Amino acid sequence: MTKVVILGPAHPLRGGLASFDERLAKAFISKGHECSIYTFSLQYPSFLFPGTTQYSSEPAPQGLDIHVCVNSVNPFNWIKIGKILIKIKPDTLVVRFWLPFMGPCLGSILRYVRRNHHTRIICIADNVIPHEHRVGDSMLTRYFIGVPHAFITMSEKVRSDLKKFRPEVPERCVAHPLYDNFGEKIDKFTARQKLGIDPGIRLCLFFGFIRKYKGLDLLLEAFAGKFLKNADIHLLVAGEYYEDSKFYLDIIEKNNIQEKVILRTNFIPDSEVKYYLSAADVVVQPYREATQSGVTPLAYHFEVPMIVTNVGALPLLVPHREVGRACEPEPEAIENAIAAFFNMDSLKLMEGILREKKKLSWDTLVESIMSLSNDLEK
C-alpha cells in the first residue's frame, strides 16, 4: 500500500479545487492506496478573495482524512507543516498549484519535505501563468516551480507554460476527469421546477464564479444581438460575482434584456449543482482566456452540450460540431454559435458527448500520478 498525501484545498473550503482534491482522494483510496489531505485553515487573505465566504456550509465528505492546518501567510506555520510531513513520510505527495500567491507557502513546505529524501512530490498544475496578472507573479511562481519532482498538467497550454520554467522536468498531460461528485443527472422538467424556471423555454447556462476573463459580458452582449433578443432563448447565470456586479447589470439594463437573463448570482452549493446543469439545454463558456475549465468535465458528467470559445484547450476538449460549437470570443460570433446550436441534431450531439465523456477518467489520473512517482523512484 502506497501512502499518499494531497496538499491543497479541501473541506471546509468550498469550490472546484476543493471538490477536485476530495474526489482525487477517493480515487486513490479506491485503488488501494492510503490517502489523506492537508488543507488550509487560511487559504486567502480577504484582499485576494472577492466572494462572500471561502468556507462551505455543507457537511464534510464522508470517509476522508482531512487535516485543516495550513496557513498560507504564516511562515512559522509552513515550517511546522513541513516538519509534520517529513515525520509522516508519505511515499507520494500530490500538491496543487493554481496561483502565484501560493508559491511561498507551498514552495517552503515542499523544501522541508524534500529533506526526507523519500517522498516523491508530484504537482498538479492548474495554471503556471495566471489568467489575471499581478506584479511579482513570475518570481513567486519560480520559487514554487523549482521544487516538485514531476508535474501533471491538464492542457497543452499549461504544459507549454511549464516548459518555459522547467524544460526538462518529468511531466504528463492528462485530461481533467469528470466532476462526478455532484450527484446524477435528473430530468429537465424536475430540475427547472426546482429552480422555478419555465420548462418550455430554450435555456443557455453560464456556470461558475464571475470574473472578467470568463467573458460573461461578451455573452450578455450576444443576447442583446438582433437574433437572440427576439428568439425564445434565455440565459441562466449561476455563480457568484468575484468582481463588481454593476458592470454586468449595466449591460443588461442598457440593452433591455432583463427578461432574457435569469440571475442566480449567489454561490451554488454542491447539493444544488445538479439542478442547474440538468436544467440547461447548453452550457456556454464565453471565455476570453483559458487553460482548461472545470465547467467542461462538469457538463460532460451531466451530458450537456457546450458552446466554447477558441481559447486555450477548450476547443480540443469540446470538439466543434461533435459536442456543441466553438467560436471566437466576440459577441456576434457567440450569438451565431448559439443560433446554430439550436439547429443541430440532438442525437448526434449526445453520441459525441458520450464518446468524449469516456475519456475523462479518475483512474487515468491516479495511474499517471503513480507512474510518474514510480519512475522517480527508479
Residue 49: the pLDDT is: 67
State the pTM of this model.
0.91
Residue 183 lies in a domain: no
Strands (DSSP E) found in 164-275 = 171-173, 202-207, 233-238, 261-264
- Judge if 131 and 215 occupy the same domain: no
- Judge if 201 and 235 occupy the same domain: yes
CA 146/CA 132 separation, integer angstroms: 22
Residue 1: the pLDDT is: 78
- Judge if 121 and 233 occupy the same domain: no
Residue 145 lies in a domain: yes
Tell whether the torsion through CA atoms of 33, 295, 122 and 43 is positive or negative: negative
Residue 50: the pLDDT is: 65
* Model pLDDT for residues 53-108, shown as the tens digit of each residue: 778 878 899 999 999 999 999 999 999 999 999 999 999 999 999 999 999 999 99
Residue 182 lies in a domain: no
Structurally, the chain folds into a number of domains equal to: 2
- Judge if 195 and 107 occupy the same domain: no
* DSSP secondary structure, 253-265, as one string: HHTT-TTTEEEE-
- Residues of the chain falling short of pLDDT 70: 47-52, 131, 378
Residue 47 lies in a domain: yes
Residue 35: the pLDDT is: 98
Q: Are 99 and 127 in contact (CB under 8 A)?
A: yes
Domain CATH number, residue 303: 3.40.50.2000
Host domain of residue 195:
188-357
- Judge if 173 and 201 occupy the same domain: no
Residue 55: the pLDDT is: 80
Domain CATH number, residue 66: 3.40.50.11930
* Model pLDDT for residues 106-139, shown as the tens digit of each residue: 999 999 999 999 999 999 999 998 767 778 899 9
Residue 56: the pLDDT is: 80
